[in-house]
C-alpha cells in the first residue's frame, strides 16, 4: 500500500523525530509513505474567513497533487492535518471557495475535494488495524502508563475532522493498548494546551501546559504522547518537566523494534 | 461601523441571531480569563453593532483557535469564526499588524517549532 504523504514544515526541522519514526514504522508495517514531489507549508492555521482564498492554496496544491497521483493523502502533524482536511471540505462543499481557488490555480483538471485525507493514526487503524499492529509489536511497552494528549486540532470541529468522538476520543488509547502499554484517561486530554500564545503571552502558555500535565499526572500518567509539534514544544518547554512528552511515532518505533535497528 | 458589521458577518458566515444565549461557548473557552470580552459577548455585540469595542479588545488576540466554542455550541453559531473575522477587520487595515517580522528574533528560542511562528503570522498579520 502506498500513500501520498505531506510532512509539513516543522517535520523537516524541529519536529524531525515525529517524521523519522513515523516513516520508519510505516515501512516496517509494509506501508510506503511517498512524500509529495512538491509541497508548500500549509500555513499551520486554517483560515476561517470565507474570503481568505490565497492562504488556502498550499493545501489545495497538496490535495490536487495527491489526486493526480491517484493516492490517498496521509498527514502526520496535527496542524497540517487540520488545515488540509478543512480546506478539502471547503473545496468539496463551498462553491464560492472552490471557484475562486480553482481560478487562481488553473489546474488541468479543477479540484473539487476528491482526495481522501487521512491522519497517520487513521491509516494505522484502518489499513493496518490495531489488532494486527499488536501482533507486529516486538518490544511490548508493558507496565508503562501513558496519557494520550489529543489537543484541539485533530478533533475539532468534529463535523469536518471526523477523527473521533471529540469529547471522548479513543483512537490514541487503542493505539497505546496495541503497543502493550496502559492508557491513562484524563479530563484535559482534549483541551487546548495554549501553545499558540507562546510567542506573546508565555505566562498563559505555561499555565495552560501545567494544567494539562498536572491533570495527567494526577490521573496516574507517567508519560505523555502527542502528534502535534506545537503541543510538544509547549508541554515540554513550558510544562516545567512535570512529565516526559514524546511523539507517538517514537513509541511506535520503539515497540516495533525499528528504533533499535536504526540506532 | 454598520458596514463593517455586515462585512464581519459575511466573511465569518456567522448569523449571530441564531444564538440562544446559553453561554456554553464561554464556559468551554480555555482563554476565558484572559479575554476582556468573552465568546458569547462577541456574538451578542456583533448582533448589536458594537464592533468598534470588539476591534479594540485584547480578546481577539487571545482566542486559541481551539474550536471548543464551535464544537459545543448547541445552535452551531461558531463564535471562533466571528472572533477571527473581527481580528481580520483590524489586521487588514494599514499598519495594524499585531505581530511584525522585526519582533520575531527576540522571541525565538532554540526549540521553538516553525509552526509557532507560521501560525502567529497567519493569525496576527496581513
Q: Which domain holds residue A230?
A: 136-262
Question: Look-up: residue for cell 474567513?
Answer: A49
| Inter-CA distances, A148 with A85, A141, A165, A185, A208, Å | 22, 15, 14, 7, 16
pTM, to two decimals: 0.97
pLDDT in tens, A171-182: 999 999 999 999
The pLDDT, as a whole number, for residue A149 is: 98
- CATH of residue A102's domain is 1.20.1050
Rg from Cα positions in chain B: 15
CA distance A117 to A80: 11
Residue A129 forms part of a structural domain: no
A146: cell is 501513558
For chain B, residues with pLDDT lower than 50 are none
User: Looking at A66, A88, A120, which one is the last position of a domain?
Assistant: A120
pLDDT in tens, A57-83: 999 999 999 999 999 999 999 999 999
- CATH of residue A196's domain is 3.40.50.11810
Interface test with chain A among B68, B69, B115, by most A beta carbons within 10 Å: B115
Identify the CA nearest to A113 among candidates A145, A81, A144, A89: A89
Alpha helices in B2-75 (DSSP H): 2-12, 24-28, 39-47, 51-55, 59-62, 68-72
User: Looking at A74, A92, A120, which one is the last position of a domain?
Assistant: A120
The pLDDT, as a whole number, for residue A3 is: 98
By the 10 Å C-beta count (0-12 exposed, 13-18 middle, 19+ buried), B33 is classed as exposed
Nearest CA in chain B to A202: B107
**Quick one: average pLDDT of A86-97?**
98
The pLDDT, as a whole number, for residue A141 is: 98
**Least CB–CB distance from B70: residue in A43, A156, A232:** A156
The pLDDT, as a whole number, for residue A233 is: 97
Residues 6+ away with beta carbon under 8 Å from A231: A78, A149, A151, A193, A195
**Least CB–CB distance from B114: residue in A9, A166, A237:** A9
Regarding whether A143 and A255 lie in a shared domain, the answer is: yes
Q: Angle A229-237/A78-93 helices, nearest 10 degrees?
A: 150
By the 10 Å C-beta count (0-12 exposed, 13-18 middle, 19+ buried), A145 is classed as middle
How many independent structural domains does chain A possess? 2
Residues 6+ away with beta carbon under 8 Å from B107: A199, A200
CA distance A80 to B15: 28
Backbone φ and ψ for A117, nearest 5 degrees, come out as -105, 125
Regarding whether A145 and A80 lie in a shared domain, the answer is: no
CA distance B32 to A71: 42
Regarding whether A179 and A87 lie in a shared domain, the answer is: no
Residue A126 forms part of a structural domain: no
Regarding whether A244 and A157 lie in a shared domain, the answer is: yes
Identify the CA nearest to A120 among candidates A252, A244, A12: A252
Regarding whether A141 and A257 lie in a shared domain, the answer is: yes
Interchain pair B62, A9: CB under 8 A: no
Regarding whether A143 and A250 lie in a shared domain, the answer is: yes
* Selected residues 33-72 of chain B with any CB under 8 Å from a CB in chain A: 34, 61-62, 64-68, 70-71
The pLDDT, as a whole number, for residue A146 is: 98
Interchain pair B66, A192: CB under 8 A: yes
**Least CB–CB distance from B71: residue in A79, A157, A198:** A157
Regarding whether A258 and A227 lie in a shared domain, the answer is: yes
Regarding whether A248 and A173 lie in a shared domain, the answer is: yes
Regarding whether A92 and A141 lie in a shared domain, the answer is: no
CA distance A47 to A100: 15
Interchain pair A233, B71: CB under 8 A: no
Task: Please tell me the distance in Å from B116's CA to the nearest CA on chain A.
Answer: 6
Amino acid at each position: 500500500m502506498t500513500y501520498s504523504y505531506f510532512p509539513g514544515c516543522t517535520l523537516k526541522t524541529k519536529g524531525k523525530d515525529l517524521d523519522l519514526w513515523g516513516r520508519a514504522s510505516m515501512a516496517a508495517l509494509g506501508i510506503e509513505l511517498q512524500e509529495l514531489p512538491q509541497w508548500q507549508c500549509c500555513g499551520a492555521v486554517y483560515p476561517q474567513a470565507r474570503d481568505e482564498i490565497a492562504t488556502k492554496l498550499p493545501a489545495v496544491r497538496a490535495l490536487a497533487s495527491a489526486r493526480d497521483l491517484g493516492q490517498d493523502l496521509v498527514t502526520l502533524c496535527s496542524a497540517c492535518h487540520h488545515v488540509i482536511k478543512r480546506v478539502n471540505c471547503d473545496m468539496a462543499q463551498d462553491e464560492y471557495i472552490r471557484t475562486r481557488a480553482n481560478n487562481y490555480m488553473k489546474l488541468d483538471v479543477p479540484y473539487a475535494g476528491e482526495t481522501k485525507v487521512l491522519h497517520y493514526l487513521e491509516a494505522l487503524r484502518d489499513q493496518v488495524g490495531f489488532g494486527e499492529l499488536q501482533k507486529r509489536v516486538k518490544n511490548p511497552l508493558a507496565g508503562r502508563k501513558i496519557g494520550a494528549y489529543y489537543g484541539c486540532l485533530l478533533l475539532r470541529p468534529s463535523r469536518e475532522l471526523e477523527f473521533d468522538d471529540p469529547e471522548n476520543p479513543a483512537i490514541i488509547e487503542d493505539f497505546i493498548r496495541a503497543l502493550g502499554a496502559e492508557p491513562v484517561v484524563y479530563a484535559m486530554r482534549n483541551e487546548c494546551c495554549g501553545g499558540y500564545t507562546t510567542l506573546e503571552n508565555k505566562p498563559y502558555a505555561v499555565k495552560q501546559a501545567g494544567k494539562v500535565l498536572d491533570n495527567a499526572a494526577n490521573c496516574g500518567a507517567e508519560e505523555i504522547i502527542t502528534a502535534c509539534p506545537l503541543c510538544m514544544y509547549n508541554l515540554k518547554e513550558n510544562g516545567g518537566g512535570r512529565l516526559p512528552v514524546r511523539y507517538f511515532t517514537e513509541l511506535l518505533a520503539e515497540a516495533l523494534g525499528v528504533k533499535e535497528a536504526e540506532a | 461601523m454598520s458596514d463593517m458589521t455586515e462585512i464581519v458577518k459575511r466573511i465569518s458566515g456567522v448569523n449571530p441571531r441564531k444564538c440562544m444565549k446559553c453561554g456554553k461557548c464561554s464556559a468551554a473557552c480555555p482563554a476565558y480569563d484572559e479575554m476582556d470580552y468573552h465568546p458569547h459577548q462577541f456574538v451578542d455585540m456583533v448582533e448589536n453593532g458594537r464592533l468598534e469595542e470588539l476591534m479594540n479588545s485584547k480578546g481577539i488576540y487571545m482566542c486559541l483557535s481551539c474550536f471548543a466554542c464551535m464544537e459545543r455550541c448547541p445552535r452551531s453559531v461558531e463564535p471562533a469564526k466571528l472572533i477571527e473575522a473581527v481580528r481580520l477587520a483590524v489586521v487588514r487595515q494599514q499598519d495594524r499588524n499585531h505581530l511584525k517580522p522585526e519582533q520575531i528574533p527576540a522571541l525565538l528560542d532554540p526549540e521553538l517549532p516553525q509552526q509557532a511562528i507560521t501560525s502567529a503570522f497567519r493569525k496576527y498579520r496581513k
